[in-house]
Amino acid sequence: MPSARFRTRRRYRRTAALAAVVTMATALAACSGDSGPEATDHPVVVASTDVWASVAQAVAGENADVSALFDTPGGDPHEFEPTTSDTAEVLDANVIVMNGGHYDAYMESAANEAEGKKVVALPGHEGHDHDHDHDHEAGGTGHGDSEGHSHAEEHAFYDFAVVADTADDIAGALAEVAPVHADAYRANAKRFRADVDNLRGRLATLRDAHPDTRVAATEPLATGLLNAAGIKDVAPAGFSAAIEEGQSPSAADRAAFEDLLRGRKVSALIYNVQAVDPATEAILSVADANRVPIVNFTETLPKGVDDYVAWQSSQIAQLGRALGRG
């Protein structure tokens, strides 16, 4: 995949990025009357992040070119600000893949001006071309149910049922663009779903082996995964919300979080290594000092990894080892 144009800067509210992309996309559309995807049997797919690009690649195989706007290991995708050329790539793409839920607002805005097929993982948003009525397993909600799916949980790529359904969406979009490869796209999506189902099976095994497990997460990143494993995140809600918004948690929330760790009231600390500030670093230090197992989760693919299933498989293994020690 081509590298993303990422510039490190302090966290800013996503509304600022949203406004910038709206202006950029409008200008591009005005200047390029012939902008838009060309008919082809080898589609161009542009995803917002490398995670969704990896899902698209699993479906497309050799029958499409797939790239991501953001693919910087260790970087914070919330801080990504696309360039004019990034937005031009979106406008020229045959298929556009995004998380939705304002997680990747820059892509949502650029896609509003685009003519390519749009695939949005989270339901209930304009541009979601492929609605579903699939049901999750016990404890979940239907992918197509905008009432049932919590929009507060924006990290759709940690909800394996949603990811598998989105792969089907991508196959459908690609099949419309390049019908000659429709069977291959759908077969790839079917294989991908089987691999994801295996991941879900491993989470069920964790749930059975470690019932009533409590952990504390610095940010509500892997909520979908933890729920599927029957694991309850008991971190102070105010702490998690502050970290997610790029703010400093209150002293009371920090003290409550530290009390969970010092008293070993949780089996593990779930640490988002891409949302780090002095407050999370202090929590990490307390966990380490009190021998609370630490599970490092990422928001995008780690360096050297380009396969969604391999990425999540590794994280599930890490979680299992931590619970065995906790």
Fold of 210-325: Rossmann fold (3.40.50)
Domain ranges of the chain: 14-199, 210-325
Residue 55 and residue 33 in contact, taking contact as beta carbons nearer than 8 Å: no
Name the pLDDT band for 66 (thresholds 50, 70, 90): very high
pLDDT reading at 138 higher than 90: no
| Residue 194, phi then psi, degrees to nearest 5 | -60, -40
pLDDT reading at 128 higher than 90: no
Q: Which of 44-53, 88-97, 101-110 has the lowest mean pLDDT?
A: 101-110
pLDDT reading at 131 higher than 50: no
Kindly list the distances between the CA atom of residue 39 and the CA atoms of 28, 83, 87, 93, 177, in Å, as whole numbers in the listed order.
Answer: 20, 25, 20, 11, 7
Report percent pLDDT > 70 for the chain: 79
Beta bridge partners of 168: none
The pLDDT tens digits of the residues spanning 5-17 come to 322 222 222 333 4
**CATH for the stretch 14-199:** 3.40.50.1980
The pLDDT tens digits of the residues spanning 230-262 come to 999 999 999 999 998 889 999 999 999 999 999
pLDDT reading at 297 higher than 50: yes
Name the pLDDT band for 113 (thresholds 50, 70, 90): confident
Q: What is the pLDDT of residue 326?
A: 56
Residue 57 and residue 174 in contact, taking contact as beta carbons nearer than 8 Å: no
Dist CA 127 CA 144 (whole Å): 14
Q: What is the pLDDT of residue 300?
A: 95
Dist CA 142 CA 136 (whole Å): 6
Find all residues with CB under 8 Å of 290, minimum gap 6, and list them. 261, 262, 264
Find all residues with CB under 8 Å of 133, minimum gap 6, and list them. 142, 143, 144, 145
Q: Which of 86-95, 133-142, 185-194 has the lowest mean pLDDT?
A: 133-142
Q: What is the pLDDT of residue 124?
A: 60
Kindly list the distances between the CA atom of residue 129 and the CA atoms of 24, 90, 91, 93, 256, in Å, as whole numbers in the listed order.
Answer: 24, 16, 17, 15, 44
Averaged pLDDT, 218-222: 95
The encoded tokens of residue 72 equal 């910087």
Note the Cα 13 to chain centre separation in Å: 18
pLDDT reading at 20 higher than 50: no
Same fold: 14-199 with 210-325: yes
Q: What is the pLDDT of residue 21?
A: 43
Averaged pLDDT, 55-68: 98
Averaged pLDDT, 267-276: 96
Q: What is the pLDDT of residue 98?
A: 97
Q: What is the pLDDT of residue 82?
A: 86
Residue 158 and residue 222 in contact, taking contact as beta carbons nearer than 8 Å: yes
